[in-house]
Structure 1
Amino acid sequence: MKVYVVFYSMYGHIHKLAEAVAEGARKVEGAEVSLFQVAELVPDAALERTGAKAARDAFAEIPVIRPEQLAEADAIIFGTPTRFGNMCAQMRNLLDQTGGLWAKGALIGKVGSVFTSTGTQHGGQETTITSFHTTLLHHGFVIVGVPYSCQGLVNMDEITGGSPYGASTLAGSDGKRQPTENELSIARFQGEHVAQVASKLAAK
């Protein structure tokens, strides 16, 4: 059973969540977990100027996924930062290249899930994920979120990301806040839960 974690990360926040998601998925027996990033669209000069290039260099060895590779997976867990309550352009670019897969029904029945990051508490934590679901539904994915058996969702002792739609982190308006242990625990839960659901479906 192949589980792909496919993400875009500009400053490393989504990458950290992606690693936690993959860690959780690997707990499930039989899960072959692979991480991929999506192609960058921002010019190197702009990345350098904003400090994003140095952050992205930390995970530069993670391969860039090709659209046709999505058909190989049994479950795909997508990670994207929010851009005004929606997925980022880099992730949209990947999905906009999947028309051929859609025409063949190549992704129907696969398990899909989404996690995200935002700059503020109410900057798209939920809308980014639920709007992403629209594309997954067009492809026929079986969408899986994070049920309330995940105790991190009911943590009221701190400001935290995470919702029944998927794991998330709050990066702060300056990007300096890093994913907390509670947010990472939700990400690990999501990865394990998605892999468990995919395993059950594969056994049918």
Structure 2
Amino acid sequence: DVREVLKKKGKKEEKSAWYFNSTKTFKSNRIINIGDTLCAALKKAYDRQMANKAFYDEYYTKIYKKPEQDEKGDTIYRLIEIEAGVPCPLESVDMINVRENGQLLSMDSMKYCSRAIHYELKINFNYHSLRHTHATTLIENGANIKDVQERLGHCNIETTLNTYTHNTDYLRNQSVEIFEKAVQK
């Protein structure tokens, strides 16, 4: 039992925990195409993670998923961190966003970065802002709005257009250039 493993180590299960559960909508389950740049970055992160696992060895933190029931009776999975040297009967999961020693790197870890960006650069930023930046960058560079909608997993294209893509100086100038070319024909 996980509680016994944690008791032996002198730890309690944390009250604020991270969970895997079902996605918000059916559209949230998706496969997206990625390019060579992201593949190379993921490979580099994986190689670094494997080197860290070897370095920390039995002290590297592994992440396991513990099945639990939510208030509706649906199965959800609490993420539990235990050092690799401690046997655990639960299924382990490989996460990309982890610290050097394997501990979860949560969105809370980005709070300092977010505050620094907010106060130093005067940009209202949080971790979720990266989805907005991704969508706007795609639109600025000519991506099809329908593909951006599917890439973000939105059921409704209005969510993509009205919430995730932002009108930028680049897009405004692009509209001027398009109109200029149209009227000069």
Normalised by the length of structure 2, the TM-score is 0.23
Structure with the greater alpha carbon radius of gyration: 2
Higher RCO (Cα < 8 Å, 6 or more apart): 1
Structure with the higher fraction of residues in helix conformation: 2
Normalised by the length of structure 1, the TM-score is 0.21
